[in-house]
Amino acid sequence: MRTDTVPLFSESRTEEFPRASDPAAWTPTDLGRSPAWLHDLTPNELMELPAVSRAVLRGWHAAVPDGSFLAWQMARTERELRSGLGFRILRGLPVQDLTEQEAAATFMALSRYLGEPMEQSRGVTLAHVRAEAENNPHGLGFRAAGTLPFHADLEDVIGFLCLRAARGGGTRRFASAATVYNILAADHPDQLRVLTRPFPVALQEPHPDYGHRWTRLPFVSVRDGVFNACAYPVHIKRAQKLAGVPELTAAQNRALEVFNEVADQVAVSLELRPGDVEYFNNHVVLHSRTRFTGDGSERHLLRVWLSMADFRPLDPEHPIRLRRKGKERAPAA
């Protein structure tokens, strides 16, 4: 079921920043010419949903059965995540006819076909994304009602299921990090040079080697010929509050601003509908959201983080690599 990751960079070593040419380096025009990223669930696929939902409700470990229509569609989704555009949207999950528990079970079954659900903030594997008051001192960024910067999350793949959309605002926006890289290489090489150097990034768990709550990662990098973006502005900002973390320089702050500005220029906007299922490769795709016109309290999404086997070569200090190293060193129970 796996496909080889296609290098985003050419073999040419004559340029300081070789151009990304993989399908993941897409533009909004490219999406208009390719229907691969958006799929309306078919009647045959919808007929299979109750069975997978019941299976997960019995044990929360079931996945879509091999050989089914849904399995074929999820295999195509995995290919897009690994070596295609880096994202896929499935439409038409009948959430209006499901209880919240049934919708969650179906979403988990689809997600388990792609990878292993990982623990998120506050120790859950399935997070509820609702707006919180902006002055909540214990609130989480993804539950804020304001505009979010373009970013990725700290796992291989992030998935969302929309149960209810906001009455106004909250438009989903996403962009190719590889395309942003190409534009920076051509038009803003000084900023890109800064972004290829390490930034302090807050960790969810202490570093397995040093015990620190933060590490250093380049915002964009190439390892073994494969492009990766560690686009974690929220975690960079969070690291600034930790002891021992060097203050960001003016050049670093400006580079982050330019990166976000360019992402905004090449982003695609999409109004979320109830029943939409989204999956993004966090190493190549950025996502964001506009401010809600109200408080956004009616909006309700489910979110998963998925670990994908043999997905991409990552920096040794990447949170995914550190998590795996920590598990390897943990004493047996």
Query: What is the reported pTM?
Result: 0.88
* Phi, psi angle pair for 70, to nearest 5°: -65, -35
The string of pLDDT tens digits covering residues 105-164 is 999 999 999 999 999 877 899 999 886 544 444 444 444 556 788 999 999 999 999 999
The string of pLDDT tens digits covering residues 265-287 is 999 998 889 999 999 999 999 99
User: Are 181 and 192 within 8 A, CB to CB?
Assistant: yes
Q: Which two tokens stand for residue 329?
A: 């060193």
Q: Give the SS3 label for residue 89.
A: strand
Round to whole Å and give the CA distance between 149 and 152.
10
Round to whole Å and give the CA distance between 261 and 265.
7
Domain boundaries, the chain: 28-137+144-305
Closest CA to 306 of 89, 118, 86: 118
Nearest 10 degrees: Cα torsion 119, 122, 127, 133: -150
Instruction: Quickly name the fold that domain 28-137+144-305 has.
Output: Double-stranded beta-helix (3.60.130)
User: Are 286 and 229 within 8 A, CB to CB?
Assistant: yes
Round to whole Å and give the CA distance between 223 and 30.
26
Placement of tokens 């933060």 in the chain: 214
Q: C-alpha angle with apex 192: 189 to 195, nearest 5 degrees?
A: 160
- Could you read off the pLDDT tens digit of each residue along the chain, which spans 333 residues? 333 444 444 333 336 787 777 789 999 999 988 778 999 999 999 999 988 888 888 876 777 888 889 999 999 999 999 999 999 999 999 999 999 999 999 999 999 999 999 998 778 999 998 865 444 444 444 445 567 889 999 999 999 999 998 776 678 899 999 999 999 999 999 999 999 999 999 998 999 999 999 999 999 987 666 789 999 999 999 999 999 999 999 999 999 999 999 999 999 998 889 999 999 999 999 999 877 665 556 889 999 999 999 998 899 999 999 999 988 876 655
Closest CA to 28 of 283, 301, 267: 267
199: which strand partners? 217
Closest CA to 105 of 155, 159, 51: 51
Q: Which two tokens stand for residue 229?
A: 């973006």
Closest CA to 132 of 117, 142, 147: 142
C-alpha R_g of the chain: 20
* Phi, psi angle pair for 28, to nearest 5°: -55, -35
The one-letter amino acid code at 317 reads: E
